[in-house]
Amino acid sequence: MEVWEQVLAGAAAILILLLFFPGARKAVKDSPKGTREDWWGAIKPIALVIAFVIFLILIARG
């Protein structure tokens, strides 16, 4: 990738962040707060997937 392409991609990324930041901040501010049960409901499946991937890696290594 040429230097000008990297600069253009970086400028586009910054522009996208600047365009979406106000809307994202408002959405986070106005969103309902999660309870402890909500967080556990989100963390459990993620932890299971991570454990499964680690299990697969250990099996693949032999």
- Encode pLDDT of 33-48 as tens digits: 889 999 999 999 999 9
pLDDT tens for 4-60 read 999 999 999 999 999 999 999 999 999 898 899 999 999 999 999 999 999 999 999
Side-chain-side CA neighbours of 46 within 13 Å: the count stands at 5
Please tell me the pTM assigned to this model: 0.53
Compute the residue count for the chain: 62
DSSP H helices, 1-62, are 3-30, 36-61
